[in-house]
Structure 1
Amino acid sequence: MVVGESVYNWGEGFDARYGQADGLRQTHRRHALNYRRDSPYVRNIERAIYRASEPSEEQKRGLWSTVAYHNLVLQPLGSIKHRPTYLQYLQGWKEFFELSHLMSIEQAIVYGLEAKKIDALVEAIQFRGASFKQIRVPAKVGRTRPRVVTVADDGRALKLLFIRHPSAFFSWRQWAPVIREHLLL
Structure 2
Amino acid sequence: MDYLNSSFDHLFEANKEVKWWPWVGRDYPQSSVKTMILGESVYCWGEREKFLDRYARTSALRETHANHALKFGRPSRYVRNIERAIFERRSPSDDQKHRLWSSVAYHNLVLDAMDSVEQRPTQLQYQRGWDTAMDIFDVLGVEQCLVFGVESVSALRLSAGGRELPCRVSRHPTKVGRFSARAGLLHTANGRPVQLLFVRHPSSFFSWRKWAPVVRAGLDWEFAEAQSLPEA
SS of equivalent to 1:155: coil
- Alpha-carbon distance in 2 for matches of 1:48, 1:97: 25
2:143 is matched with: 106
1:164 is matched with: 200
Matched, 1:87 2:124: yes
SS of equivalent to 1:109: strand
Q: What TM-score, normalized by structure 2, do the two folds share?
A: 0.77
2:180 is matched with: 145
Following superposition, which runs of at least 4 residues in structure 1 exceed 2 angstroms of deviation? 152-155
Further displaced range: 45-54 or 132-141: 132-141
- The structural deviation recorded for 1:119 is 0.7
Out of 140, 148, 156, which is 1:121 matched to? 156
Deviation string, structure 1 residues 124-176 (Cα, Å, up to 9, x no partner): 11112111222211221122101011012332210110000000110111111
Question: Does structure 1 retain, via aligned residues, the 8 Å contact 2:174–2:214?
Answer: no
Query: Which one-letter code corresponds to 1:66 in the other structure?
Result: S
- Alpha-carbon distance in 2 for matches of 1:80, 1:62: 30
Alignment of 1:40-51 (within 5 A): 40-51=77-88
Matched, 1:54 2:91: yes
SS of equivalent to 1:79: coil
Deviation string, structure 1 residues 36-79 (Cα, Å, up to 9, x no partner): 11111100000000000000000001101111110100010000
- Alpha-carbon distance in 2 for matches of 1:93, 1:62: 27
Q: What TM-score, normalized by structure 1, do the two folds share?
A: 0.96
- Alpha-carbon distance in 2 for matches of 1:112, 1:155: 25
**Alignment length (residue pairs):** 183
1:179 is matched with: 215
**Structure 1: stretches of 5+ with no match in the other structure:** none
Question: Does structure 1 retain, via aligned residues, the 8 Å contact 2:169–2:185?
Answer: yes
Question: Does structure 1 retain, via aligned residues, the 8 Å contact 2:144–2:196?
Answer: yes
**Structure 2: stretches of 5+ with no match in the other structure:** 1-35, 222-232
- Alpha-carbon distance in 2 for matches of 1:52, 1:135: 28
- The structural deviation recorded for 1:181 is 1.2
SS of equivalent to 2:103: coil
2:107 is matched with: 70
Out of 76, 96, 99, which is 1:39 matched to? 76
Query: Which one-letter code corresponds to 1:156 in the other structure?
Result: R
- Alpha-carbon distance in 1 for matches of 2:174, 2:140: 32
Q: CA RMSD in A?
A: 0.9
- Alpha-carbon distance in 2 for matches of 1:174, 1:57: 23
Further displaced range: 100-109 or 152-161: 152-161
Query: Which one-letter code corresponds to 2:102 in the other structure?
Result: S
